[in-house]
């Protein structure tokens, strides 16, 4: 984003633009930010805001690099320590590399009580980490007093506790508090009353909140509402009131209510005042008192540092007692005099010298988003404190001796001070499988490197896989990649970059998808070698598959994901929790076929229609064409076969395509012009022929009423940029699929105008074909071909052969794969023009190219702040999994950094299913039966009964029913061997079967059982 032109580099920032919007992006690109302290937390914040694209960042630090830094700062290397470099200078070029549009400077001048703070006036935002509380107060007072105020953020991580504070001045205006798209609600009725009640369409809840504002359009009858804005009160999920409508005209039909975003003022107090009466965000509702308790503990720590000129010693119980006394007196100075939590104070004291890098990643993600809010005014700021503690991690370590936590002189001393040496060793010896090396994957690898995962001398390995290549748009948040890595495999590149952070990491990288087709690579044996699986995926289907593999092989799984500023983490532990597949999100609502084809009501419908047209014209039909001519080698052969009465699948469409094939640029432009007429004029005329504007339904209501919108034909205008854009993009795509060359001159306006002026556009002739109006009807798979069409096909093919237009080159097309991120290919240009022309035809508000690209490309908005926060939380849960913690220690998290909220919840305890007679199972149970070569199905059933006390009545393998007594011939199968029934491949040692049992009373459904793993031969133990 060059500051002079303020143009946004969409190839780099596209995913983030969908989160922040262009206004915020441009404000950000003009902002100057100052960050003091480039330790483990500072470097996280610097990374995230540089990736986001501020104009300039100054990183300030007065400390030298030490061995300790290797375990907390991923941009400090061993040679920085030997060279005794300053931390800011050592990291400068490495953080600057993250984004060429951001100017990064380093400063090592002292910042203390005597410093003249006037140099801060050049910055819009100041962030302090590793700064004493006294100095924080002084700098905060200075920032708050400026006009306009300099936005102030302070953040710290000490051991197991973290603190984040924001002060954006007395009044801080936010134009968009949530970043959500304004809701559009289709109206079915408005009462003439005081207050007037607005009812939505059936089965479409409005999801509004009392106090929000709406504006109205397209209301028939009560038309004075159109263009007016009203504050609403929610009456029910399907209705709301808008004030007095009793004097208005009666409502007839139609109407859309659109949410209006209104600015909101947020009020902030200075740090000095907030210390005594803090306003805190509660992250764990099971412990609403926790933020104040951590507030007291961290203030006590600050006082300890001031009193003794040092922090409490690692694991020192005497210092912990001293800090507890300080905490008691601190609590008395606060307005609410909160209760002191001795455990929090004690563990903070014991670990304060240490540092949990994943906690810094989580807090750094949140803090960075607050920086972006400060400089853009987008999203609701944090008011005013966020505290997160990791008491769950240290509580089970209570009985460990003090020596466990003491430094050993290596890069893991900061971590060891928090979790002890034994747990560090377990992390080193860990075998972990990371699926996906995108944004979360890169962040996870950084966390693994800092934790020393997979660095053990004899044990430990990180295995990663990702089938994708690096694209420019990845560089905005996948921070291990640089411009020279574009088009290289993500996994190999990420592995190499991770070794720069920690060269002792052992890492295997693959470029396979994890799916049923790769089970030879990712076999049961592979999974059983892993201690934990971590997913960094972007789709539900892959998550479900990997979850099923983890359950089958009794492996823990930690899943996470983000969408814009939202994120989630989920921990799945064998025998303790439910699995990912235990809960199902509602399926995505599909747009009904008839809505797409004939009755669009929203821009999303026209974009999907245009996307389908692209797929059909430029990908699907060309692929079918090529497939047909690979099956039948010549036009003469096909002609002979259909003349002899053979029915060749798809031949009618293929011959039609061949006979109409454009063979010159002129014909491509002509075809585009004819398509324009067909799509945007004839289609409207046909619908109005089938359903005139005054058509009424059986109940007397109008056919054309909300949400159905009547279409009106679009008259082609060469000088209309939208019309011209459609012709150009369609003609270029037709030329590509039909292998027609074109020159720069061909693309000139003069050439196009000349061609179009000579086109004979076919006149509209109404047809009597039935228009589908049933919303439940699906798109038909095959449209039957009439005998007349077949006769016509023979005639057309004969004509092509005679004209020498069915030669080898004519029987080939070049299908196009949709690619949203290459602006030169014209794909999004075509979809935008086609969608907006259809929107114009139906009087729907059009969408710009940017919005069209997001919807057509199904782009998931993404930003580095949420990714960093989520991966930090995953790594914290990983420590608990490695430690074999009890169920109540694990936490799932949902966060939305925009609002901001962060909610920790306990994992869902695994459900136990009762079969009968005290026999029960969970999803994690697997029964095992060992057979031999002549083992029959009857032997298997008897073996289950003898071993587990219940006789199966049904045996299923995947989707294949091996034994269902009511099925004909199945009783005979009892005598067949398991080998014959299952037909295993030579290397297959076992098969997983599903069994069910007879119900206790007749007429009820069979009772499900756990999976049964049947081994074909007895295994040697």
Active site residues: 594
Query: In the numeric block, which tokens belong to residue 288?
Result: 């609403």
Query: In the numeric block, which tokens belong to residue 298?
Result: 């961290």
The 3-class SS string of 179-241 reads CCCCCEEEEEEECCCCCCEEEECCCCCCCCCCCCEEEEECCECCHHHECCEEECEEEECCEEE
Residue 744, exposed/middle/buried by CB under 10 A (0-12, 13-18, 19+)?
exposed
Cα atoms in the Cβ-side hemisphere of radius 13 Å centred on 357:
31
Q: Which residues pair with 702 in a beta bridge?
A: 696
Dist. CA 93–CA 107, nearest whole Å: 13
Q: For strand 431-435 and strand 461-465, is the pairing parallel, antiparallel, or unpaired?
A: parallel
Dist. CA 627–CA 778, nearest whole Å: 26
Write the CA distances from 6 to 23, 49, 101, integer angstroms.
Answer: 10, 18, 11
SS3 state of residue 161:
strand
Residue 523, exposed/middle/buried by CB under 10 A (0-12, 13-18, 19+)?
middle
Dist. CA 655–CA 792, nearest whole Å: 10
Residue 918, exposed/middle/buried by CB under 10 A (0-12, 13-18, 19+)?
exposed
Cis link prior to 195 (omega < 30° from 0)? yes
Query: In the numeric block, which tokens belong to residue 622?
Result: 């060309």
Find out whether 259 and 213 touch, Cβ atoms under 8 Å: yes
Task: Map tokens 């119900």 to a residue.
Answer: 999
Nearest in space to 185 (alpha carbons), one of 602, 649, 807: 602
For residue 660, the tally of other CB atoms under 10 A from its CB is: 12
Q: Where are the alpha helices (DSSP H) in 956-1005?
A: 978-982
Query: In the numeric block, which tokens belong to residue 494?
Result: 């990420």
Nearest in space to 49 (alpha carbons), one of 368, 359, 515, 495: 368
SS3 state of residue 36:
strand
The 3-class SS string of 687-722 reads HHHHCCCCCECCCCCECCCCCCCCCCCCCCCCCCHH
Nearest in space to 165 (alpha carbons), one of 259, 280, 253: 280
Query: E strands along 364-427, which residues?
Result: 385-389
For residue 456, the tally of other CB atoms under 10 A from its CB is: 18
Dist. CA 18–CA 714, nearest whole Å: 31
Nearest in space to 462 (alpha carbons), one of 482, 441, 478: 441
Q: Where are the alpha helices (DSSP H) in 270-390?
A: 271-276, 290-308, 317-333, 342-351, 357-376
Dist. CA 165–CA 133, nearest whole Å: 12
For residue 553, the tally of other CB atoms under 10 A from its CB is: 18
Dist. CA 412–CA 930, nearest whole Å: 46
Q: What is the DSSP string of 776-799?
A: TPPPPS-PPPPHHHHHHHHHHHHH
For residue 723, the tally of other CB atoms under 10 A from its CB is: 21
């Amino acid at each position: 984003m060059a500051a002079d032109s303020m143009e946004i580099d969409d190839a780099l920032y596209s995913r983030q633009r969908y989160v922040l919007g262009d206004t915020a992006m441009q404000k950000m690109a003009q902002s100057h930010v100052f960050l003091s302290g480039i330790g483990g937390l500072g470097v996280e914040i610097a990374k995230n805001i540089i990736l986001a694209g501020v104009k300039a960042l100054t990183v300030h630090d007065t400390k030298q690099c030490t061995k300790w830094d290797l375990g907390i700062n991923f941009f400090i290397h061993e040679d920085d320590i030997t060279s005794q470099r300053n931390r800011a200078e050592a990291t400068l070029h490495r953080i600057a590399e993250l984004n060429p549009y951001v100017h990064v400077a380093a400063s090592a001048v002292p910042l203390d009580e005597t410093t003249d703070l006037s140099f801060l006036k050049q910055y819009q935002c100041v962030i302090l980490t590793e700064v004493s509380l006294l100095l924080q107060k002084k700098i905060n007072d200075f920032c708050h007093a400026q006009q306009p105020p300099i936005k102030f953020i302070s953040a710290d991580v000490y051991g197991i506790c973290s603190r984040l504070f924001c002060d954006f001045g007395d009044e801080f205006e936010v134009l968009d508090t949530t970043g959500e798209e304004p809701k559009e609600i289709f109206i079915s009725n408005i009462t003439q009353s005081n207050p007037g009640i607005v009812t939505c369409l059936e089965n479409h809840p409005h999801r509004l909140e009392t106090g929000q504002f709406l504006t109205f359009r397209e209301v028939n009858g009560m038309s004075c509402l159109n263009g007016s804005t009203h504050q609403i009160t929610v009456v029910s999920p399907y209705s709301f009131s808008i004030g007095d409508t009793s004097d208005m005209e009666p409502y007839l039909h139609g109407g859309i209510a659109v949410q209006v975003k209104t600015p909101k003022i947020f009020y902030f107090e200075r740090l000095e005042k907030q210390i005594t009466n803090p306003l805190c965000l509660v992250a764990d509702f099971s412990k609403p008192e926790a933020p104040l308790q951590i507030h007291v503990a961290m203030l006590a720590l600050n006082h300890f540092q001031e009193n003794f000129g040092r922090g409490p010693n690692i694991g020192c119980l005497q210092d912990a007692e001293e800090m507890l006394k300080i905490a008691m007196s601190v609590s008395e100075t606060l307005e609410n005099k909160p209760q002191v939590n001795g455990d929090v104070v004690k563990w903070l004291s014991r670990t304060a010298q240490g540092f949990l890098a994943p906690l810094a990643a989580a807090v750094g993600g949140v803090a960075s988003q607050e920086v972006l809010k400060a400089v853009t005014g987008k999203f609701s700021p944090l008011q005013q404190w966020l505290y997160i503690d990791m008491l769950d991690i240290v509580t089970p370590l209570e009985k460990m001796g003090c020596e466990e936590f003491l430094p050993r002189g290596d890069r893991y001393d900061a971590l060891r001070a928090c979790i002890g040496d034994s747990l560090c060793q377990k992390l080193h010896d860990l075998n972990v499988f990371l699926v996906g090396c995108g944004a979360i994957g890169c962040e996870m690898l950084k966390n693994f490197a800092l934790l020393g995962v997979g660095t053990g001398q004899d044990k430990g390995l990180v295995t990663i896989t990702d089938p994708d290549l690096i694209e420019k748009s990845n560089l905005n948040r996948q921070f291990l990649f640089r411009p020279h890595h574009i088009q290289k495999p993500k996994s190999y590149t990420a592995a190499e970059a991770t070794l720069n952070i920690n060269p002792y990491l052992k890492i295997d990288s693959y470029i396979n998808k994890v799916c049923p087709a790769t089970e030879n690579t990712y076999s049961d044996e592979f999974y059983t070698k892993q201690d934990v699986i971590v997913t960094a995926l972007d789709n539900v289907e892959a998550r479900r598959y990997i979850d099923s593999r983890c359950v089958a092989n009794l492996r823990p799984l930690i899943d996470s994901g983000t969408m814009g500023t939202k994120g989630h983490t989920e921990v799945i532990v064998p025998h303790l929790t439910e699995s990912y597949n235990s809960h199902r999100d509602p399926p995505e609502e599909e747009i009904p076929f008839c809505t797409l084809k004939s009755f669009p009501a929203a821009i999303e419908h026209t974009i999907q229609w245009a996307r389908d047209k692209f797929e059909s014209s430029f990908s699907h039909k060309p692929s079918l064409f090529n497939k047909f001519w690979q099956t039948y080698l010549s036009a003469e052969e096909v002609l002979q076969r259909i003349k002899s009465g053979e029915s060749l699948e798809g031949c009618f469409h293929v011959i039609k395509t061949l006979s109409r094939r454009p063979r010159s640029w002129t014909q491509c432009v002509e075809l585009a012009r004819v398509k324009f007429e067909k799509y945007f004029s004839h289609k409207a005329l046909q619908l109005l022929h089938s359903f005139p504007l005054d058509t009424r339904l059986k109940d007397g209501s109008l056919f054309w009423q909300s949400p159905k919108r009547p279409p009106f034909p679009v008259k082609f205008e060469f000088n209309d940029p939208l019309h011209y854009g459609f012709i150009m993009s369609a003609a270029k795509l037709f030329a590509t699929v039909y292998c027609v060359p074109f020159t720069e001159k061909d693309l000139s306006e003069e050439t196009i105008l000349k061609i179009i002026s000579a086109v004979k556009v076919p006149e509209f002739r109404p047809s009597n074909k039935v228009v589908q109006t049933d919303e439940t009807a699906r798109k038909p798979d095959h449209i039957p071909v009439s005998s007349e069409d077949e006769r016509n096909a023979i005639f057309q093919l004969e004509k092509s052969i005679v004209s020498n237009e069915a030669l080898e080159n004519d029987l080939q097309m070049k299908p196009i794969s949709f690619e949203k991120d290459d602006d030169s290919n014209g794909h999004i240009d075509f979809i935008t023009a086609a969608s907006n022309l259809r929107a114009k035809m139906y009087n729907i508000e059009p969408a710009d190219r940017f919005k069209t690209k997001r919807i057509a490309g199904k782009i998931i908005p993404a930003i580095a702040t949420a990714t960093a926060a989520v991966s930090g939380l995953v790594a914290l849960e990983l420590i608990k999994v490695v430690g074999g913690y009890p169920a109540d220690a694990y936490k799932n998290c949902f966060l939305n950094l925009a609002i901001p909220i962060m909610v920790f919840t306990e994992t869902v305890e695994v459900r136990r299913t009762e079969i009968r007679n005290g026999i029960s199972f969970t999803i994690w149970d697997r029964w095992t039966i060992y057979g031999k070569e002549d083992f029959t199905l009857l032997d298997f059933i008897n073996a289950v009964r003898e071993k587990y006390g219940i006789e199966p009545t049904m045996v299923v393998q995947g989707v294949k029913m091996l034994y269902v007594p009511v099925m004909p011939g199945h009783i005979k199968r009892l005598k067949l061997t398991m080998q014959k029934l299952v037909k295993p491949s030579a290397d297959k040692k076992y098969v997983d079967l599903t069994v069910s049992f007879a119900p206790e009373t007749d007429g009820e459904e069979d009772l499900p059982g756990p999976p049964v793993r049947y081994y074909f031969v007895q295994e040697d133990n």
